[in-house]
Amino acid sequence: MKYLVTGGGGFIGSHLAKYLCSAKNEVVVLDNFSTGRRENLKGVPVELIEGDIRDLSTLAKAVKGVDVVFHEAALCSVARSIEDPLSTHEVNITGTLKVLEASRRAGVKRVVFASSSSVYGDADALVKHENLPTVPLSPYAVSKLTGEYYCRLYTELFGLETVALRYFNVFGPRQHPDSDYAAVIPKFLMAIRKGRRPQIYGDGSQTRDFTYVDNVVMANIAAASSAAAAGSVMNVACGERWSLLELIGELESILHCNIVPEFRAQRAGDIKHSLAGIEKAEKLLGYVPAVRFDEGVRKTVAWFFAADQNALAVKPPALMAVTSG
C-alpha cells in the first residue's frame, strides 16, 4: 500500500509515518515545516515532499499513486486562531478542501481527516458523543468542523471515502511545548525542566480526556481500512478524564518532587470539561485504547528528560523539593 501523510513532520504525523514505514508500506510525507520538524522523521524511510497543502500542483505530485491519505496538516492552536483567524481558515479549511480535491482527481480510495474535540464547544453534556450538537468556540474549532463537512460532501457527491477522527488532547513523545494541540503536558514538562512554575489557566479543576499518541495512530490505521467506517465521524480518546491538578499530582509521583503551579485567568475559547464517548470507534474500528493515561505520562516524561538526566538536580528549592520514594 502507498500512503500520504500530510503534516508528516509534525507530532502526530511523524508517529503515524514511522508506524506505516515499520509495517513495510510506501509512505509519502508532505510538510512545509512551518510547525513540523525534520528531526521527527530522522531515520524514517519516507519520500519527503516539502510543500504546502494549499498548492494544488504540489498536492498532485504528493497524491500520485496513493491509496490512502492521512490528513494531519493543520494550524492547531486555539489561541493562535483567535489572534489570526485568516491563516487558520486558509490552512485548515482551504487546505483541507484542496487535499480532498487532489485526492478525488488522483483516484485516492480514502482520506482520513484529523478533526478535533473542540468542535463540541463547552456543551452541557459531560460525555461528548458524536450525536451532540456542535458549538465551536474558536476559529480553529470552526475550521475542523468545516473540514468534517467537506469530507462528508466529498463522500456523498464524489464517492471519495472519508473518515473524520475527533482527537481528544493527544500527548506523547516529540510533542513540542510550543504546540497548542494538547500542549499542557509538554508545557508543564518544559517549565519543570527549566525550574519554572507550570502555568494553569483557570483553577486547575478543568478536565481533559488525555489520549496517548499511540492510541491515535492505531485509530488512524483502523480508519484507513474499516469498510464500516466510510463516511463517518468518530471520537478518538480513552473515555476517561483527568483534571490539570490530577496531572500535576501524576507528574509529582513520577518525578518525585513537589510542583507548585502558577494560576492565571482562564483563556478565551478554552473548554471547561472534555470527556469522550468512544463507543462508535469501538464499534466501527474495533478501537481499544492500548495505552492508558498513567502509562502514557510515564513514557512521555521518560522521553522528555532522556537528553538531560540531571535536569531535576538543578531545580531551585523554592519551586521543587525532591521527595523520598
* pLDDT tens-digit readout, 184-202: 899 999 999 888 999 999 9
Q: Predicted confidence band at 24 (pLDDT cuts at 50, 70, 90)?
A: very high
Quote the mean pLDDT of the chain: 91
What's the whole-model pTM score? Answer: 0.91
Residue 245 CB neighbours (<10 A): 15
Whole-angstrom distance, CA of residue 141 vs CA of residue 153: 19
Whole-angstrom distance, CA of residue 134 vs CA of residue 144: 11
pLDDT of residue 179: 55
Residue 78 CB neighbours (<10 A): 23
Least confident interval from 2-6, 87-91, 307-311: 307-311
Whole-angstrom distance, CA of residue 246 vs CA of residue 230: 37
Cα dihedral sign, 78-80-85-90: negative
pLDDT of residue 218: 98
Nearest to 55 by CA among 85, 31, 37: 31
**Does 270 score more than 50 pLDDT?**
yes
Is the Cβ–Cβ distance between 140 and 91 less than 8 Å? no
pLDDT of residue 313: 41
pLDDT in tens, 133-156: 999 999 999 999 999 999 999 999
pLDDT in tens, 293-321: 999 999 999 999 885 544 444 343 334 44
In the three-class reduction of DSSP (H, G, I as helix; E, B as strand; rest coil), residue 42 is classed as: coil
Q: Does domain 2-170+213-236 have CATH number 3.40.50.720?
A: yes
pLDDT of residue 245: 97
pLDDT of residue 263: 95
Report the percent of the chain where pLDDT is more than 70. Answer: 92
Helices (H) and strands (E) in the chain, counts: 11, 15
The average pLDDT across 91-112 equals 98
pLDDT of residue 316: 36
pLDDT of residue 124: 81
Whole-angstrom distance, CA of residue 317 vs CA of residue 320: 5
Task: Find residue 236's DSSP bridge partners.
Answer: 167
Q: Predicted confidence band at 268 (pLDDT cuts at 50, 70, 90)?
A: confident
In the three-class reduction of DSSP (H, G, I as helix; E, B as strand; rest coil), residue 27 is classed as: strand
Residue with more model confidence, 322 or 175? 175
Which three cell numbers, joined as nine digits, stand for 99?
487535499
pLDDT in tens, 206-258: 999 999 999 999 999 999 999 999 999 999 999 999 999 999 999 999 999 99
Which three cell numbers, joined as nine digits, stand for 96?
483541507
pLDDT of residue 325: 42
Block residue for cell numbers 511545548: 177
